[in-house]
Amino acid sequence: MRKISVMGGSDNKLKQLWQRGTQLLGCEFAILGGAMSWVSEHNLVAAISNAGAFGVIASGSMSPELLEKEIVATRALTSKPFGVNIIIMHPQLSELIEVCRKNKVTHVVLAGGIPSATIAGEVKDGGMKLLCFAPSAIIAKKLIKIGSDALIIEGMEAGGHIGPVATSVLAQEILPVVKEVPVFVAGGIGRGEAIRNYLEMGAAGVQLGTRFVCAEESIAHPQFKQIFIKSQARDAIASVQLDSEFPVIPVRAIKNKATKQFIDFQEEVILKYRSGKIEKKDAQLQIEHFWAGALRRAVIEGDIENGSLMAGQSVGMVTKIEPVKDIIAELITQAEG
């Protein structure tokens, strides 16, 4: 594999294609590391940034104190820029944003919904670049109005919580009409040729998560990594919603025993509600909380049967454990070719 120099090794055409992305992020390659809870912590994030791309901490359900420790730990491993992904529904949202400001984080990614103008303002007033997820062209325009510096469009091929539209369709809908800010494409991207195609369509960069799970620097449990290496695209399926009265945001994960358990659990809880044993609100809450802790069980403890194996459909392109710099070098070589 050809080596990619830190100071610049990608061809001039590729540099031109993602110039808006690299300028916004302050890195060599406009590749965002997808924020994956329990996986995107300081070791992996720093490795991605050190390799010339852009690491992003997944704050998930972290407390402000824990996030601050994670930022400090990341900075101890890299002098390159990195970002923090914050879930909008977090009860201490403003406190997390303040931690980022205080610790001079350069970029904040707001995920899990559409942020209010007030929250967007808190990020901007803190001197940080704001990135938001846009599920449609109309919402993209609204996000730009409230101050988003860049957008991420993520298709249903991605891992974790997903929307209903494929990456290729979102790209065709949004890239031609959103020119005001850089747009990053995510979901199902596993090779450099796909990166190049989206750049040619007008994207400023991409976001990849699943490809980095089996990096040497990833702290994911060895059994978690092995199930990724063994799995194919068809194994990463979306969770099933049994009753429209109890909506479930689909989660894409590798099929295992927990996949069937979730269906059985929904049946059990809905039956309790129908028989008057619990209130509807409690039933919905129980269904939503089913996966609480399940991802940690899989990623950290290695329980690949009862844990959540969140993965995108690009999991079939994960074939071995290797350093982050080799993964990125391969992607760049493919994109140039």
The pLDDT of residue 291: 82
Cβ(295)–Cβ(161) below 8 Å? no
Structurally, how many domains does the chain consist of? Answer: 2
The pLDDT of residue 9: 47
The answer to whether residues 152 and 301 belong to one domain is no
The answer to whether residues 18 and 166 belong to one domain is yes
- Consecutive 10-residue runs of the chain (337 residues): their mean pLDDT? 46 94 98 97 98 97 97 98 96 97 98 96 98 97 98 97 95 97 98 98 98 98 98 96 88 94 93 94 87 90 96 98 98 95
The answer to whether residues 260 and 126 belong to one domain is no
Residue 183, domain member (yes or no):
yes
The answer to whether residues 129 and 100 belong to one domain is yes
Would you call 86 helix, strand, or coil by DSSP? Answer: strand
Distance, CA of 26 to CA of 123 (rounded, Å): 18
φ, ψ dihedrals at 197, nearest 5°: -60, -45
For tokens 């993965």, name the residue: 311
The pLDDT of residue 42: 98
Residue 3, domain member (yes or no):
no
Closest CA to 183 of 8, 17, 9: 17
Domain region containing 69: 12-219+320-336
The answer to whether residues 286 and 324 belong to one domain is no
Residue 281, domain member (yes or no):
yes
The answer to whether residues 162 and 193 belong to one domain is yes
The pLDDT of residue 337: 87
The pLDDT of residue 208: 98
Residue 33, domain member (yes or no):
yes
Distance, CA of 59 to CA of 130 (rounded, Å): 15
The answer to whether residues 238 and 192 belong to one domain is no
The pLDDT of residue 55: 98
Contacts of 327 (CB under 8 A, 6+ apart): 51, 211, 212, 215
Residue 305, domain member (yes or no):
yes
The answer to whether residues 62 and 110 belong to one domain is yes
